[in-house]
Amino acid sequence: MNRPIFNILRAIKSEDPPCAGCSWYKRCAFNKIACAMFKNYTESGELIGDMNPTTKIYKEIYNDVRFRIAQVSYG
């Protein structure tokens, strides 16, 4: 199994994501931004880092050519 996928599945089973209850949740979803805490959560399953979302972090997470996630349209 792909390591990032394994980490996110493990994290989902063990605890709530950092986005649960976050005031930035809708803004991140609609504006395609993400914070360092969410990036660490998807990569290692740990809740560490700040919650200041940026487009740079979003692109680091989702611009994965293996899955072509950056090309998905939600509109």
Predicted pLDDT of residue 69: 52
Predicted pLDDT of residue 75: 46
How big is the CA angle at 53 (ends 59 and 55), to the nearest 5 degrees? 30
Region 42-68: mean pLDDT is: 78
Which residue intervals of 1-75 are DSSP H helices?
Answer: 3-14, 25-31, 36-44, 55-62
Residue 27 sits in which domain range? 3-71
pTM of the model: 0.63
- In percent, the amount of the chain with pLDDT more than 90 equals 9
Cβ-contact 27, 53 below 8 angstroms: yes
Number of domains in the chain: 1
Query: Which residue did the predictor score with more confidence, 75 or 55?
Result: 55
pLDDT at 1 over 60: no
